Chains A and B, each alone.
Chain A
Amino acid sequence: MKTIAEINEKIRKGQAIVLTAEEVIEVVKEKGFKKAAQEVDVVTTGTFGPMCSSGVFLNLGHTKPRIKLGGGKVYLNGVPAYAGLAAVDVYLGATALPEDDPRNRDHPGAFVYGGGHVIEELVSGKKVRLQGFAYGTDCYPRRQIDTWIGLEDINEAILFNPRNAYQNYNVAVNLSDRILYTYMGVLKPRLGNANYCSAGQLSPLLKDPFYRTIGIGTEIFLGGGIGYVAWWGTQHNPSVPRKNGIPTRPAGTLALIGDLKGMKPEFLRGVSLLGYGTSLAVGIGIPIPVLDEEVLWYAARSDGEILAPVVDYSRTYPERESEVLAEVSYAELKKGMIKILGKEVPTGCLSSYAKARKIAQILKEWIKEGKFLLSEPVAPLPGPDSGIKLKFLEERKDT
């Protein structure tokens, strides 16, 4: 048994043993749990993939004379930002599209540029065009602004992502006779391919499946800089089926927050999904303090022991049905071929394992160098016994 304070003391002294979630699997096999749990102090995780519920709050600073953009309209490189806040606070979401984007009029649309791309440009140090339209008041008389801004010109740029780091995710296939363009990529007809989106054995919440160490307030690697777990993520759904404690369906999620000014474009990339829209690929790394053998046991589960559900995106997903065609392990998915309904199906992935690995490695270095300490959660995330159940939106004629 160790406490976070004890582990931090070791980190400060440069004596902490830190391993990535990949490395720890081998170490546990070699040394056994008891010995490994005594020796290993921290396990670092990582993930990098498109996460649509991402975006950035910007405080643009005040113009002279002042303008009240709140209640007006704001565009960044032509992409609309939400302006229903105070005078110069806006929120730019990853999936926002320019009003003149053809979208899916000529299906499948290319979705060349959207909010995710603007965020990538900002974090790359580029200037973006700000256009604002307001109605004018006595205290905020100005009605229009057209200028260029960069991260160094504005007050705050706060990445705030309401849902990131999904604990497990669907493997998408297509049982129909036509090609599908989805948020899980292009799906070829008649089980032509299968796309998944998780770092598996490196993915943060899969390595702490009951949220024993990851909670509200946990300090993390976010987009190449520092971030925090702000809350549980939207659609957090901890009460799904589990095998050996690990969810076999999309389950927990995290709401994350951090200073965009400290982040890097290598770990925040604008994404275009053919026929679907734009998004933002986000890099996340979370440290897991090895408090006891149980924490280590979960942190050391490998791809072969983590199962993902295979879902048909021609009918089951769009119709919000719950049928799962099969469960496959991440080890099988990573080999490049899975068997579904008797057919060999090649796999593709939307989540970058190479980047996930790099993130876990960087976080490990930060901790080893004493630059990053572990944080005690302020409050826990709701677990399987919380009673949280996903609600669905039903159409009603009246209240």
Chain B
Amino acid sequence: MQLRRVILRFPSFLTNQPIVYRLAKDFGLEFNILKASVNPEKEGLLVMEIKGEEGQIQEGIRYLLDKGVIVESFGQRVVFNSERCIHCGLCVGLCPVGAFIMDEVTFEVIFQEEKCLACGLCVKACLVRAMEVQL
């Protein structure tokens, strides 16, 4: 099983067609929508995680591209520099997807990269620049 995070941009002519559910129905993919902005007659945006076998993911993405969906993979990732971190936990309440947790025993910050959307909010808000964007 593979996990892929993608940004889907739906041109306005596609926003009133059922497309995403076919990823599950025809390609057996599981998906988890992380962010959605869909307005009828306007460009739509979906950020989601797709889970499935590599071949199925590729077929599913091929299907989306054929339909006219613009598919982008995450171009950046956010990395955690534990040497710089002071473990204050400011990022814990800030992260929109809960990618940081405060260890209940050690009171040290744990960064769960697999949850991160690379939105960059923590990078700007961190007091000691312990979070960095990597392209």
A residues at B contact (CB < 8 Å): 48-50, 108, 110, 185-186, 188, 193-195, 269-274, 281, 334, 336, 345-355, 357
Contact = CB atoms under 8 A, between A and B. Distances in A.
Where chain B touches its partner, the secondary structure class is loop
B131 to A, nearest CB: 12
B92 A188 contact: no
B121 A348 contact: no
Contacts of B108: 354
A348 B109 CA distance: 11
Contact of B107 (A273, A345, A357): A357
Nearest to B88: A352
B14 to A, nearest CB: 31
B88 A351 contact: yes
Interface stretch (B21-29, B40-48, B56-64, B122-130): B122-130
B93 A194 contact: yes
B86 A348 contact: no
B94 interface: yes
Contacts of B124: 108, 110, 186, 274
A185 B90 contact: yes
B118 interface: no
Shortest 6 CB-CB contacts between residues of A and residues of B: A348-B93, A193-B93, A354-B87, A353-B107, A346-B93, A349-B89
Nearest to A271: B127
A280 to B, nearest CB: 11
Contacts of A357: 107
Contact of A50 (B87, B102, B127): B127
Interface string B32-73: 000000000000000000000000000000000000000000
B8 interface: no
B102 A336 contact: yes
Given A186-B125, A273-B127, A274-B124, A348 B106 contact: no
